[in-house]
Chain A
Amino acid sequence: MPAVETRKTIGLKKVWSRIIARLDKLSEKKTVAYSLYFASIIFFLGIILLPSLLGILLKLDTAMSVLSDPELLKRSFSAIFSSVILASIVSVLDVVTGLPLVWVIARKKYRWLSIVDSLVDFPLIVPTVILGYSTLLLWCEETPFSIIGFNGISPGFITVLLLHFAFSYPVVVRILVGKLLDIEATYEVAARTLGACSFTTARTITIPMLKSGIIASLILSFARSLSETGATIMVAGSFENGPVFIKKSIDAGLVPPMVFVSLVLIVFSILILAGLRLFGFKLKIPFRKSYRIEAALSVERVTRLRDASAIIIFLFLVFLPACFMVLSRMHLMLSSSLLGEIFTLQGAWFTYWVSVLNSYVIGFLTTLINIVFTLPMATIIVRRKLGGLVSRTLEALSTTSIIMPSVALGVSLSLFWGTTGVSDFILVLLAHLCITYPYMVSTMVSVLEDIPVELEEAGRTLGGTPFKVFRSIVLPVAKYSFLSGVILTFTRSVNETGATLAVSKTFKTVSVLLVEWVKAPGMKVEAGAGTMVLMLLSIILLVIFRYIYTKGGGGVA
């Protein structure tokens, strides 16, 4: 009965517009705005910051026992040292090898570049643990390069390095491509017409302008390398960095070493990150001189070689590990009746789909709650609503949990919330909120920073309430970065394993389940198929996101 339906939709529309009008009215009140700011700070302190740290801090007294055990102390420090060295190498490698690819994507105009551009995002949708397993297969256990006489290496420092490079590289490239696209090519044209060769131009003009992006990339990949746990364990062999050591202590039921190493790592990372933020911007790249070698490096033959090696590095060290497990299992999957079983929910596949549902519900809630609470927070930070000092402090604090090893974070959370008897579902949700919060805040901050304040002011004096200005001006103008923040948060939540495992043994997200399958004997094919299905689902979701992004045109809501 279409008539009823139309009446229904009209009714719904009315209710909707009434809700909007009500929110508009509410947003006019300053008390409402300040309550929102207040609530977002309470959320940050009470749900994100304190539980992540307090769980560990409460056990601080036990950590001192490590100091009296020289053997344990030595192992702890060697793990911390390995972590810092590894993270430093990874972040520098990311930027050095990433920049040429960034240049190719942002500045060259080949048609096939759009393919490379989308391939860069691909590793992001592979659960990190699966990437770890895939790395293990590719470089150690089932290496396809045996046909050229390479028989694989044994798990250790090199495999961990390869793994960390693979998962942080796409993020670095994504950040830097965005930043480089923001820098108009006119500066480079000006420098070239003034007589500088392309390499000198990049060194003296473009890279200094990219500095903030480079520092952000260094911080992000450093933090990611320092905190990753699940996948690292898979490829570590006898190599032991902070998170591996923490995981081993937890498995052995030893709380003190875990608290000790976590604390030292956190303090260490805060110092390093603060140093990068403070001194990174002051660092000057030599400007006055022009070196003869630069002209040689700018010759087309050399730049082509550079571009080609950038693409080869990406394909072999990042893209191939991301899809190797699925590729290597492909023939087994196709030859069995697996595909039918997957979609008829037979056997283990029922559990699989439940875990997918779990992941998506958690991912959705995590994203939604984070949006609600990070927006006011980002407003405080960017628009300095509560003064400069509060802004800067909150900005620094809100990104702290990015450096916590995810296992340590999980343990801290379960120590903190464990006594309250909340359900595993809530615990997992809380863990995911903590892990994705820093990503969401920094996205929201950049969303607001990108909006010229004049647009908001114009909207207000034309009569728009803060809520109306937000939904019809800020959001549409910043749609792209807003959506990428949503995607980043969502995929990070779906792919998370370390903290999820630490807070709950019973509630299974799909990444946790896949880890179990990978470890279980005789489930290798299923693990591959499960990963492939998850990746396909992610691709479909990404396409839907992109569709929403390109569909919504203008219009005043």
Chain B
Amino acid sequence: MPKVVLEKVSKKFGRITALNEINLMLEDGEYSCILGPTGSGKTTLLKIIAGLVEPDSGDVYIDDRRVTGTPAETRNAVYMHQNYALFPHLTVSQNIIFGLTARGFSEEDARRKVSEVLEIVRLREWADAYPRELSGGMQQRAALARCLATGARLLLLDEPLGALDARLRLEVRRELSRIAEELNLTVVHVTHDQSEALSLADRLILMRNGKIVQAGPPEEVYFKPNSIFSAYFVGESIFLEGIIRSVNGRNVTLELKNGMAIEALFDDSFNMGELAVAAVRCEDIEVGGGPLTGSLKEVNFLGSFAKLVFELPRGLKIIVNIPLSRFIKEEFRIGASFQLSIPREKVHLFKPPSKGLAGEIEAV
């Protein structure tokens, strides 16, 4: 059963550090999504597991077997490229047969396997088509079929939905999760699309600058971000800078730059008078009855919810996402003044980053 372990894996390309001492364990049958901005090392990590790139140091284990340095074809881990890498000179079924004959299947078994996997991805009628004759979605499914046919139980997907349009992406996303579940595959799925990662993953691994920032079930990463970057990259948050003014029992008070104050749950890592950054999800802020007052600047209707932008004194901006059920157009007039409140348990306090808040977020 495929279980993947990475121990202190590092990789440099020239002067650029792609991976910096990565430790990671992926359980058998787990669907993991590696999420991160461009250049965070996601693809390198995936290629190191596949055996397409050798780490400079550290070790890779698949099923408790040390595979560092072994050739890709012996690892029983199939890698699917973002652009699918279907062999242009072979038909769909020939593409699938490639991996089968490579693994020593007899011709008859190979043929049976081909129709089996084409059934799974619903491409039966397209067996004899060449890749160029397929639509993007079909190519994606053909590439998936090619991976599945090999019988490899470890699937490494590099942005598998990146080239599809939004509607198709949703469809294939469901399909992927169904197939992974049915065949009990261990999947590592690289993406920079957070909704894709949140919806598919049993475990979400957030990367930045060649390091793992946070790893855990998607709910955990979403509700308990362990860093400003986590809060920024997964979901939508606002960030408020301030000074810890009072600590009383279970609460602390954070005084914002404009003199207003919000409360957060007690956190013993902060002392009185210390600078802190509060991260709050935009959907956790409530309109009406609170310590903050601001005027409505912008209203954006976004389908299932509405995005409201409030301006507070001294240029502070607060974005609030409210569900459509609570959005009454006549009530939210531009320029009107509103009170905003933030439940203290929804406030996440972080130490101010060394390069400043803007630097921390813009560096993404």
Known: A459-B98, A554-B90. A452 touches B150 (CB 8 A): no
B78→A556 contact, CB < 8 A: no
A and B contact pairs by CB, cutoff 8 A, 28 listed: A28-B74, A452-B85, A454-B81, A454-B83, A457-B50, A457-B72, A457-B79, A458-B81, A458-B85, A459-B102, A460-B71, A460-B73, A461-B50, A461-B79, A462-B73, A462-B78, A463-B73, A464-B73, A464-B98, A464-B102, A466-B71, A473-B98, A554-B89, A554-B130, A555-B94, A556-B90, A556-B97, A556-B101
Interface size, chain A (Cβ < 8 Å): 23
> Which residue in chain A gives the minimum CB-CB distance to B81?
A454
Tell yes or no: B259 within 8 A of A by CB.
Answer: no
A462→B146 contact, CB < 8 A: yes
Cα of A99 to Cα of B161 in the assembled complex, Å? 43
Tell yes or no: A465 within 8 A of B by CB.
Answer: yes
Cα of A464 to Cα of B87 in the assembled complex, Å? 13
B52→A457 contact, CB < 8 A: yes
Known: A28-B71, A455-B87, A477-B88. A462 touches B99 (CB 8 A): yes
Report A364 CB to chain B, min CB distance, Å.
Answer: 27
Given the complex, which residues of A lie within 8 Å of B94, measured CB to CB? 554-556
B137-152 contacts to A (CB < 8 Å): 146-147, 150, 152
B73→A465 contact, CB < 8 A: yes
Interface of chain A, main secondary structure: helix
B147-166 contacts to A (CB < 8 Å): 147, 150, 152, 156
Tell yes or no: B230 within 8 A of A by CB.
Answer: no
> Which residue in chain B gives the minimum CB-CB distance to A475?
B89
A454→B103 contact, CB < 8 A: no
B156→A461 contact, CB < 8 A: yes
Cα of A548 to Cα of B260 in the assembled complex, Å? 81
> Which residue in chain A gives the minimum CB-CB distance to B110?
A556
A139-168 contacts to B (CB < 8 Å): none
Cα of A556 to Cα of B97 in the assembled complex, Å? 7
Given the complex, which residues of B lie within 8 Å of A555, measured CB to CB? 90, 94
> Which residue in chain A gives the minimum CB-CB distance to B97?
A556
Cα of A461 to Cα of B70 in the assembled complex, Å? 12
A461→B146 contact, CB < 8 A: no
B89→A460 contact, CB < 8 A: no
Given the complex, which residues of A lie within 8 Å of B90, measured CB to CB? 554-556
Given the complex, which residues of B lie within 8 Å of A461, measured CB to CB? 50-52, 72-73, 75, 77-79, 156
Cα of A437 to Cα of B90 in the assembled complex, Å? 32
Cα of A176 to Cα of B86 in the assembled complex, Å? 29
> Which residue in chain A gives the minimum CB-CB distance to B91?
A554
> Which residue in chain B gives the minimum CB-CB distance to A477?
B89
Interface size, chain B (Cβ < 8 Å): 36
> Which residue in chain A gives the minimum CB-CB distance to B146?
A462
Given the complex, which residues of B lie within 8 Å of A468, measured CB to CB? 102
> Which residue in chain B gives the minimum CB-CB distance to A472?
B98
Report B301 CB to chain A, min CB distance, Å.
Answer: 36
B150→A463 contact, CB < 8 A: yes
Tell yes or no: A109 within 8 A of B by CB.
Answer: no
Extra A-B contacts (14), CB below 8 Å, given A455-B87, A461-B52, A477-B89: A452-B85, A454-B85, A458-B87, A459-B102, A461-B51, A463-B73, A464-B99, A465-B73, A466-B71, A473-B98, A476-B89, A477-B88, A554-B91, A554-B130
Given the complex, which residues of A lie within 8 Å of B52, measured CB to CB? 457, 460-461
A556→B98 contact, CB < 8 A: yes
> Which residue in chain A gives the minimum CB-CB distance to B151?
A463
B99→A457 contact, CB < 8 A: no
Given the complex, which residues of B lie within 8 Å of A452, measured CB to CB? 85
Given the complex, which residues of A lie within 8 Å of B101, measured CB to CB? 556
Q: Which 7 A-B pairs have the closest CB atoms?
A: A462-B99, A458-B85, A454-B85, A461-B79, A463-B102, A460-B72, A464-B102
Report A163 CB to chain B, min CB distance, Å.
Answer: 41
A437-473 contacts to B (CB < 8 Å): 452, 454-455, 457-466, 468, 472-473
Report B215 CB to chain A, min CB distance, Å.
Answer: 24
Cα of A454 to Cα of B72 in the assembled complex, Å? 13
Given the complex, which residues of B lie within 8 Å of A7, measured CB to CB? none
Cα of A459 to Cα of B87 in the assembled complex, Å? 9
Given the complex, which residues of B lie within 8 Å of A459, measured CB to CB? 87, 98, 102
Q: Give the one of A452, A454, A462 with max B CB within 10 A.
A: A462
Tell yes or no: A111 within 8 A of B by CB.
Answer: no
> Which residue in chain B gives the minimum CB-CB distance to A473?
B87
Report A459 CB to chain B, min CB distance, Å.
Answer: 7
Binary CB contact string for chain B from 53 to 93 against chain A (1 if under 8 A, 0 otherwise): 00000000000000000011111111111010111111100
B83→A462 contact, CB < 8 A: no
> Which residue in chain A gives the minimum CB-CB distance to B101?
A556
Cα of A91 to Cα of B76 in the assembled complex, Å? 53
Given the complex, which residues of A lie within 8 Å of B80, measured CB to CB? 458
Given the complex, which residues of B lie within 8 Å of A556, measured CB to CB? 90, 94, 97-98, 101
Cα of A452 to Cα of B88 in the assembled complex, Å? 11
Given the complex, which residues of B lie within 8 Å of A473, measured CB to CB? 87, 98
Given the complex, which residues of A lie within 8 Å of B97, measured CB to CB? 556
Q: Could you say which of A458, A466, A472, A554 contacts B79, with CB atoms under 8 Å apart?
A: A458
